[in-house]
Chains A and B, each alone.
Chain A
């Protein structure tokens, strides 16, 4: 008997509450997810095709990609009322793992008008603490302590045809810059995009990386000159940071 009463209660509850959000009322909060996409100019680069293409960079090098992983942290949305929503956590995007292309913060956000999106490529100095993140440690994502420690910001590895037409490897790895023995310089990039949009329901925000920009703007990067052993090369690290400033943009906002 008790069971039947309980059963009816459940059934009633399930059916009974169906009128709550049936109208066109806008919910008070919404879930946000960030979708990381990659492209080389107009060519989309996805987990299913990234190892099969050959792309020409600004210096005329023909480049293929074997591995692309990068780290994004401190994602924030800026509201029209001047307040900021900060999401905990960080995302290691790895093209070998399609699931890693989406960052789904546990916090929901208020619906309404927004004016901007910001994030950090890599970790800022406060966050870039040696060994602090178990999942990144297990992924072997650390940046050597002798180069300032913390974590890689990006690993892009592959091959290019050198000036003799011979295939050569490149390791385009970015992280803290080592000035000299024991002296290090931060190397992250803060992105802050003005973008007016309204959140009226669960929303997906695309953050796009144009890989070709790493080689293009402002500095034309010729892999014949710099392809490997770049981690301890201060100038190479700072040039990556300079070129990195134009690689990201906000893509589609869908809800």
Chain B
């Protein structure tokens, strides 16, 4: 204890001496520059039911940061040949995914995963991004596509120098971060700020919960099936009326394959018990996000529902919640299937895809 105090005393001294020699340089006008704070607007249903959004302390939301991030997200300047933007595979009209089974990178190469929609990421309390959770923040995630050889296939050095020699970007970075000295980290921070503004919570089901709208008897019955452990039993992984993200944001094997070819989470953790586990996607905005699953194998929601109803396949890591796997599934009636689909579609939010703040600013 005594030693610790002495140490603290010395530490305090040295800190003091250190900082007296680094007084702000009045010659640098940006030292004290503070961009305009712009906290996220929390929708009423999230405000009522969910924890506050997660914004990293070292990347606060600002007007200038979001504007820069939006411009970058839609700008092909980040790709190796200037042809592909983030938005090429993450289009507003598709709830920020695309319509391809596998997106195609600048060299015409196809990946093995379906592009993911982007919304409500500030409520991903587990902070695991990608189908297999390999990125631990949005900022870390944004670094990857730029250099991925089957996506934007660039180097960060090259991307940064394109931005630096652009007529507008140095000034926009200056406004957002108080420095015109562009780095990949600042680029990723700006993109992440824009992505955090992509909030979707205005579906017919949200309005129903808020008492501002009603659902059809079919949609309501579909919701009962979703919540019924002996029929849909979807709620254990995909949320419920009090968990309006419509995902648990964790990883499961939902019985797609007998032989696992893409190990998913298992590739990231190295644990064979994680082979074939993928992040549960949110069921919001399914009307715009086809095809479905990590490999885009299902073109329609009917195919998805048929999978859970009678297409389940056993593999060693299948989630025990896929309890009727020995019969292929719970065998929903045709009318239950139709109602379940109607309910799922009531989670889609047209105002999200048409939001003018989310469109291409360039």
By a beta-carbon cutoff of 8 Å, the part of chain A in contact with chain B is: 3, 6-7, 10-12, 14-15, 17-18, 21-22, 51-52, 66-67, 96, 130-131, 134-135, 137-142, 144-146, 155, 157-159, 166, 168-171, 173, 227-232
Contact = CB atoms under 8 A, between A and B. Distances in A.
A205 to B, nearest CB: 25
A208 B245 CA distance: 33
6 contacts: A14-B6, A15-B6, A18-B6, A22-B1, A169-B318, A232-B230
Given A14-B6, A15-B6, A138-B125, A169 B239 contact: no
A144 B224 CA distance: 10
Given A142-B240, A229-B230, A18 B273 contact: no
Contacts of A158: 320
Given A14-B8, A137-B242, A232-B230, A66 B235 contact: no
A15 B51 contact: no
Which 8 A-B pairs have CB atoms at the shortest separation, nearest pair first?
A: A131-B242, A14-B9, A169-B320, A140-B248, A157-B320, A11-B9, A228-B323, A134-B51
Contact of B16 (A3, A22, A141, A146): A3
B338 to A, nearest CB: 20
B339 to A, nearest CB: 15
B236 interface: yes
Contacts of A157: 319-321
Given A14-B12, A140-B237, A134 B49 contact: yes
Given A67-B320, A134-B49, A137-B49, 9 more contacts: A14-B8, A96-B250, A131-B48, A144-B229, A144-B235, A145-B241, A157-B320, A169-B322, A170-B320
A169 B12 CA distance: 59
A134 B125 CA distance: 11
B5 to A, nearest CB: 5
B12 A11 contact: yes
Interface of B: 1-2, 5-6, 8-10, 12-13, 16-17, 20, 48-51, 123, 125, 224, 227-230, 235-245, 247-250, 273, 318-326
Contacts of A67: 320
A139 B248 contact: yes
Contacts of B236: 140, 155
A87 B186 CA distance: 43
Nearest to A140: B248
Contacts of B245: 138
Nearest to A138: B125
Contacts of B50: 134, 137-138
Given A157-B321, A232-B229, A232-B230, A3 B20 contact: yes
Nearest to B48: A131
A135 B52 CA distance: 10
Nearest to B314: A167
Nearest to A8: B13
A66 B239 CA distance: 20
Contacts of A96: 250
Nearest to A130: B242
Nearest to B273: A51
Contacts of A140: 235-240, 243, 247-248
Contacts of A171: 229, 320-321, 323
A126 to B, nearest CB: 18
Contact of A135 (B51, B228, B248): B51
Contacts of A51: 273
A194 B125 CA distance: 38
Contacts of A145: 227, 241
Contacts of B49: 131, 134, 137
Nearest to A134: B51
Which of A6, A21, A134, A138 has the most CB atoms of chain B within a 10 A radius of its CB? Answer: A138
A75 to B, nearest CB: 22
A194 to B, nearest CB: 36
B337 to A, nearest CB: 19
Which of A11, A22, A52, A173 has the most CB atoms of chain B within a 10 A radius of its CB? Answer: A11
B16 A21 contact: no
Nearest to B238: A140
Contacts of B273: 51-52
A230 B326 CA distance: 18
Contacts of B237: 140
A59 B259 CA distance: 33
A171 B323 CA distance: 8
